[in-house]
Each structure stands twice: as C-alpha cells, then as structure tokens.
Structure 1
Amino acid sequence: MAERPLWRTVVTPRWSGLLLLALVLAGVMTAMGVWQLGVYQSKTDAATAKRAEAAPVVLQSLFSIDEGLPSKAVGRRVTVDGTWGPAADQVFIADRAQAGRNGFWVVSPLKVSGDGAVMVVRGWVASVSSPAAKAPAGAARLTGSVVASEAEDSSGDAAKGRVLSSLRIPTIVHLVDYRVYDAFVVQTSVESGVVPSPAPEAVVPPPPPTDHAGLRNIAYAFQWWIFAAFTLWMWARMVLDAHRSPDEDDPDNEDTPGGSGPATDGGAEPDACVAADHGAPADRGAPADRGAAADRGTHAAGGAEAEDAGVAGADGAGVAGADGAGGDQRGERVEPSGTVSA
C-alpha cells in the first residue's frame, strides 16, 4: 500500500485547527516582541535626550586632561573658561557641509591651565582665507557640547599643513606643544570674551550617542520571538509524528475488515464462553449430580419397600377373605374369639 502523503494529514480538521491556533499564538508572541523592542527604543531615546538637555557643567568635572574621554561625557553640555591659544595652532577640518555648501570647520585651542588646552570647534567657513576664519585672542568663557574624535585617520594631512580630513585628537597632539583634552567642544555660545567679527557660522553639534537604556526589554523581545518560533516548530513536530503513525489518527483504518484489533478481541470471547460452558461449570455440577443420584436411589428403595408391604398386605387380606368366604360357604362361623362354630 502506498504511503499516505503528508498534506492529507495536515488538512485533517484536527491538525488544521491546531495550525490555526499555533499561528494565532505565534502572531501574539511576535507582536509582544515588537512591543518590547519599542519600549527599549523609547527608553533609549529618553535617556539620550536627557543627556543632551542636562544643564551645562564644568568640563573638568567630567574628566581630567590626563584621562581618556569617558562615554558618559560624550554629548554633555559643558562650560569652559580659558584663554585662546596661538593663532598658529588653529586648524581646519575639510569637507564639512553647511546649508548645502561645502566648507571647513574652524578649530582653535582654548588653554584652560598652565600646560593644557581643549580644542574648540568655533564654527564653519567657506574657505580658510575667509575673514571669519581669523583666530581669536584673549580670555573667553563659552558653552558647548563634548564631541569625541572621528575614526578616520588624518595623520598624513598633518605634514601638509593645517587642513585635516578628520577631527582627531591623536593627529592634533603632534601639531601643538602642550597637552590637550581627549575631546572637542563644539561651541554654541560665548558667555564672555571678545567675539571676532565677522565670526564663523555656528555649527550644530552632532547628536549624542545612543544611551542604551532598557537592555532588558531587548532580551524580552527575543524571548517572545523564540516562543513564537517554538510554537510553530512544535506543531510541525506533532504533525510529522502523526504522519509516521497514521493508524492512531486515520479514521479510514477503523472500518477496515479483518483488522487485528477488534477482530482479535471479538474472536476471543466465544472461546472463553465455550471454555466456561465445557470446563469449570461441568466440574462444579458433578457433586450436585452425585447428590441427586443418591436422593433418587433412596426414594427408589423406599418405594420398593412400601410396594412390598402393600403386596404383603394384599396377600394377607386376600387369604383372610378367602378363608372367610370358604367358611361361610361351609356354614361355619368364626367367633370373635377365633373358635369356629358350625
């Protein structure tokens, strides 16, 4: 007999209904995973915005000049007090777009201690020869946002001049003779000090890095998605098991004549009945038959004795009657005392 195709097992009411239930459950679990991912994104956005909107703090309170830039300081608003460094130490970062135009960022050192400085992105200019690119001088107090170095290496540009291809502290440290903080400050406002005129156009600080908050929600999301996949896998596994053993679920096999199950059970019952009729009941009835035979023998013996007694009585009566009749015929009379009188 040909093997039953798998699709016939799948389209049965039982497995079709379970498939529908599995799809509904998997859909709900998938939606729960997406919802958990949305919760994570909301928490992350809120934490990132909170960092960017926090009140400005003094740069030195976040990290010192001897430390590397901590991740918690990136994107924070800070205030810096110092004196502008030499004009010769000012650099330009090429290929910076501003309002659809290509130009340069102007980066000037602001000394904050006797032997240290922080590099400040003062703004954007169309060319390095622009009047707005002139380096400032004197004391200044400004507010800005902390920015990390870019990944692109521009060490080869340092040998060619003051125009660099990327914003990198490791490149700038070789261009100055004092220590610098391991970060840039993108200027947003000048609180005090001389503001050059014309001044470079203000640069919008890069968005702060994503503050990954709610990482537990990501784990919950993947957990829901694993549950959804497991539900569908379990349904497929159960269908395959049912397909490999169709006798348990195939209704056509229940009416097949000559089946080994019901036919065997039905054939065993008559044998048991025959064994019961010819076996144990006959043995159990043997004592009763012997008792009945004994009773019948006793009654027969008693009847024979009674019958003999009746015969004997009849014979006696007959003899007596005959004797009496004979006596009467002879004219003799028997007296009560037994004497015969003529």
Structure 2
Amino acid sequence: MYRFLLTPRWLGYLALTLVAAALMVFLGNWQLDRYRGRTAVNERIDAGATMAPAPLSDAMPAPTGGPGTAGPAPADELTWTRVTATGRYDGTNVVLVRGRTVDSTVGFEVLTPLVLDDGTAVLVDRGWIPPAPGGGAIAQPQVPAAPTGPVTVSGRVVASESGGGAVDRRDGKLEIRRIGVPRIARELPYPIHGGYLLLDEQSRATDPAFKAVPIGHTNNWQNFGYVVQWWLFAGMSLVGYGWVARREARRAAGLGKPRPPVDRAAEPAPSATA
C-alpha cells in the first residue's frame, strides 16, 4: 500500500522534508542558545542591584599597554556586576556620547576618565544630560564639572560597544556615537581598562543635572517564542509529509473515491398510514 514511498519522486519529497525539518530544529536550537545567553544577562543585572561591590580588578584586568591603548575586555560572565574604584577624575578629557535616549528625549551620556593610582584609567559613565536648549539633539550641552580630588565610585561593569565611527573633538570635548572603548583610548594620554563603569554612586555628590542611565533587561522571552515556533514548524513539516503520504495511499487503494449521489426521486414513496 505504501510502496510508492520508495519511488524517486517520494524519496525526493522525504529528503526535502527531512532537510527542512533539520534546518528548523537548528534554528530553534540557535534561538535557545540566545535565550539562555540573554537570561544570564538579566540574572546578572538583577544580582548586581543587591550585591556588594567588588574591587575593579576582580572584573577587569588592568591594561598593560602604553598610553592610548585599552586593556582586555571584561569576561561576559562579569558584565553588569558591581565594582568599586578610587581615583581622580580627568576633567580635561570628557567624552560625550551623542544620540542617547532617556525618557524619550535624545541627549548625551557623559564619560569621564577616572585616573587610578597606578596611572591607568577607567571610563565612568556619570549619567545623561539633555542637549543645549534651542540647538537640536546634537547641540553640545554644558557639562557639570567632575568632582576634584580623590573620589570613590561604584558602578556596573559594561562591555565596549561595537561600531560608533570616528571620535571627534569639539569645543575641547571628545564626541562619539557609541561607547567604543578602544577608539576612545586612542585619544587619551594613558592606558584605560577594556570596559567602562555605569555609575551607581560616588563618594562625592553627583551633580543633579545628570539623570541615571537606566539598565534595560534583554527581551529573552522573544527568543523563547522563536524556539517554540521553529520546533513547531519542524514537527508540522513531518506531520504534513505523513498526511500527504496517507492520502496518496488511500487514493491508490480506491478508498478515497467519493460516493455517487443518491437519487431521492427514484426511491419509492413511503406508504400512507391511516
């Protein structure tokens, strides 16, 4: 009854079905890996909100190169953890990161190098400020001065962002579109750590002009939905092949022929009862 499945045509259908199902399972597994990775990021973000800060060196190795270089990037499992560092802000090398949105308003994040006792530095994201009034989203703001003297900061470890284009210097400040630590390092007179710190608090008062940069959780459930979707598609393709094969087998056996219509007019009329 199912010998037709061994014909070249049906073997071809089977091969295509299996390849398609395998590809869909692979895509589901890929999305599962992304779901697990994003879930781990969210867990680190949540844990960092309550953990005691660790020394900076526990999360980011000190740079070993000369001025203008960046150290190793923080390990993935250490991003978003909370660390502390003590040094002096270098207010002459402020970095403005343009095109950053907080509360639906486009403005700037302000990075200031914190120079440590060993002569290296770590970039500290002190917060967000709006552009100068009346000049549009790229109008350079008046940046509050960084505290002078020794300061101790605690903040989240954030990895360098990719891309971002060239670093510009305008009105004595560096500007960039994305926080690309290696690019920024080339403009500074000392080696810097391979990631940066998103400021939580510092020992000297933070200027109220800054708004805290919110930490957003990744949308891991979207990836989980894709996992279910691809695996369902894989199962449906196999079930669909089986359904088409069964229909073909029934047709070949004559089991799927429609019944002829019944001529009701030719049937004898029921006898009348008194």
Aligned to 2:235: 227
How do residues 204-215 of structure 1 correspond to structure 2 at under 5 angstroms?
A: 204-207=213-216
Please, which of 121, 139, 153 is the counterpart of residue 150 of structure 2? 139
Normalized against structure 2, the TM-score is what?
Answer: 0.61
Please, which of 81, 106, 109 is the counterpart of residue 110 of structure 2? 106
1:52 equivalent to 2:45? Answer: yes
Please tell me whether the aligned partners of residues 91 and 163 of structure 1 are also in contact (alpha carbons under 8 angstroms): yes
Please, which of 200, 205, 219 is the counterpart of residue 195 of structure 1? 205
1:84: how far off? 1.9
For the aligned residue pairs, the C-alpha RMSD in angstroms reads 3.7
SS at match of 1:95: strand
CA pair 221-93 structure 1, distance change in 2 beyond 3 A: closer
Aligned to 1:69: 74
1:120: how far off? 0.4
Normalized against structure 1, the TM-score is what?
Answer: 0.51
Q: Deviations over 1:202-247 (max 9, x none)?
A: 32243355789x99x987875554233312220111211332342x
Aligned to 2:67: none
How do residues 189-338 of structure 1 correspond to structure 2 at under 5 angstroms?
A: 189-190=201-202, 192=203, 194-195=204-205, 198-207=207-216, 222-223=230-231, 225-246=233-254
Percent of residue pairs bearing the same amino acid type: 19
Q: In terms of mean alpha carbon deviation, does 138-147 or 173-182 score higher?
A: 138-147
CA pair 153-48 structure 1, distance change in 2 beyond 3 A: closer
Please tell me whether the aligned partners of residues 83 and 154 of structure 2 are also in contact (alpha carbons under 8 angstroms): yes
Q: Deviations over 1:79-108 (max 9, x none)?
A: 2222223x2111211222333433222111
SS at match of 1:133: coil
Please tell me whether the aligned partners of residues 57 and 79 of structure 1 are also in contact (alpha carbons under 8 angstroms): yes
Q: Aligned partners of 1:105 and 1:140: how far apart in 2? A: 20
Please, which of 177, 182, 200 is the counterpart of residue 165 of structure 1? 177
CA pair 210-79 structure 1, distance change in 2 beyond 3 A: farther
CA pair 94-225 structure 1, distance change in 2 beyond 3 A: closer
SS at match of 1:162: strand
1:181: how far off? 0.9
1:53: how far off? 2.4
Please tell me whether the aligned partners of residues 110 and 117 of structure 1 are also in contact (alpha carbons under 8 angstroms): yes
1:240 corresponds to which letter in structure 2? E
Q: Aligned partners of 2:95 and 2:168: how far apart in 1? A: 11
Whose helix proportion is higher, 1 or 2? 1
**Greater C-alpha Rg:** 1
SS at match of 2:168: helix
Q: Aligned partners of 1:63 and 1:72: how far apart in 2? A: 11
Aligned to 1:155: 166
Q: Aligned partners of 1:231 and 1:52: how far apart in 2? A: 42
SS at match of 1:121: strand
1:59: how far off? 2.3
SS at match of 1:152: coil
Gaps of 5+ in 2: 1-27, 64-71, 133-139, 260-274
Answer 1 or 2: higher relative contact order, Cα 8 Å, separation at least 6: 2
Q: Aligned partners of 1:148 and 1:158: how far apart in 2? A: 23
Please tell me whether the aligned partners of residues 94 and 165 of structure 1 are also in contact (alpha carbons under 8 angstroms): yes
CA pair 228-154 structure 1, distance change in 2 beyond 3 A: closer
Q: Aligned partners of 1:124 and 1:159: how far apart in 2? A: 18
Gaps of 5+ in 1: 1-33, 253-342
Q: Deviations over 1:276-305 (max 9, x none)?
A: xxxxxxxxxxxxxxxxxxxxxxxxxxxxxx
Equivalenced residues, count? 207
Please tell me whether the aligned partners of residues 106 and 121 of structure 1 are also in contact (alpha carbons under 8 angstroms): yes
2:122 corresponds to which letter in structure 1? V
Q: Deviations over 1:61-94 (max 9, x none)?
A: 1230342232222222222222223x21112112
